[in-house]
Every structure is written in structure tokens, then in C-alpha cells.
Structure 1
Amino acid sequence: MFLNEKILKINSQVEELVNKLHKISIEFKVSREDYHDVTTLLYEGTFDIRVNEKGLTFRGTIQQYSTSVTNLYIKG
């Protein structure tokens, strides 16, 4: 999956149609090295989304996101 032109390696993905709109829930891991770039991207909120495997390309908006780690800048 691509958000804008950033490729994300997805661990899990659930797709559904809601009022004829695509709703895609994803989980993916972020390395310490990519943390800043990914969080900066996510703060944009609205993206060009491309799912090559499904032939989908559309403009989408994040409805909710969360992390299990509070600071990836600190080695743990």
C-alpha cells in the first residue's frame, strides 16, 4: 500500500465498503529510523492511496490511528 508515494509494508489489512466508500484498516510496523518520516506523513491526514493488489487508487483520510510505543526515538 502507498500513502502518497510512501510504501507501507502492511502486517494486516481489513477492507469494507461503507456507503459506497472504501474503508481500509491497516496495521504496520515502523522502525526507529522511519519514525519521524512516517509520523510526519500521518499528520498530513489526507492522502493519495494506492493498493496495487486490489487495483485501487483514491484520495483518502485517516479516521483514527494509534501506536503502542510512546517514543521510538528512545532505544528500548
Structure 2
Amino acid sequence: MHQKIIINDMEIDALNIKLGSTTKNGEERTKISFDFKVTHEAYHDITTLLYKNDFIVKVPDRHLQFPAVISNYSTSITNLYEEGAIGDFKLELIEKSSCH
């Protein structure tokens, strides 16, 4: 089932969403993982977004919002510069620590 996830105001059509929590440094944090397709046309915008690694994640259907960083990331393809190419991305985000 597709679900909209918004990362820093960029909408992503996500699949295989897993929402949970984890404990890191004695602090419970929200964790979300999902898959999504990236087209040749969207490749630059997505990779530029992910490179920042400083996100506000919103899951409107679950009334959820939290600051996050990448805890795991992978892609099925490394060259999306070819026209018509589509890659499968897997992304896992973890809530940033409330301690700065």
C-alpha cells in the first residue's frame, strides 16, 4: 500500500512502511523505514535531499512528525542519469536525539 511521507517538504510515495521505535543511548526514538521508486527525473532532487541528512519527517496519515537522520539507506541502481531509468530506494530514518 502506498502512503505519502514528507521529508523536508518533499513528498515521497512510500511502500512497505515499517514504523516503530528503538532505544539509543538510553533514549527511546521513533524509527521509520520504507521503500520508494526514484526516476531519472527525480534523482538529483532526491539525492540532494538525502545528502543533507537533517530532516523533518511527516507522515500525515498517522499524524506523526519528528526530526530525523538516516540510519540505513540503499538503492538498487547507482546510475539514474540514463533517461527512463528507475531505481528502488530503501530508507530508514531515526528520530534525532533530544539532547543537543
Common topology (TM > 0.5) = yes
Distance in 2 between the 1:11 and 1:29 partners? Answer: 9
Q: What percentage of residue pairs aligned between the two structures are identical?
A: 38
Quick one: which of 67, 82, 88 aligns to 1:74?
Answer: 82
Higher strand share: 2
Structure 1 residue runs of 5 or longer lacking an equivalent are none
Deviation at 1:41, TM superposition (A): 0.3
Quick one: which of 36, 43, 48 aligns to 1:40?
Answer: 48
Q: Is 1:7 paired with 2:11?
A: yes
For the residue of structure 2 that corresponds to 1:29, the secondary structure is strand
- TM-score w.r.t. the length of structure 2 is 0.71
Quick one: which of 24, 40, 64 aligns to 2:72?
Answer: 64
Question: AA paired with 1:57?
Answer: Q
Deviations 1:27-52 (A, max 9, x none): 00001100000000000111011001
Larger radius of gyration: 2
User: What is the root-mean-square deviation in Å for CA atoms of aligned residues?
Assistant: 1.1
Structure 2 residue runs of 5 or longer lacking an equivalent are 86-100
Higher helix share: 1
Question: AA paired with 1:15?
Answer: L
| Dislocated runs of 4+, deviation >6 Å | none
Distance in 2 between the 1:26 and 1:46 partners? Answer: 17
For the residue of structure 1 that corresponds to 2:50, the secondary structure is helix
- TM-score w.r.t. the length of structure 1 is 0.92
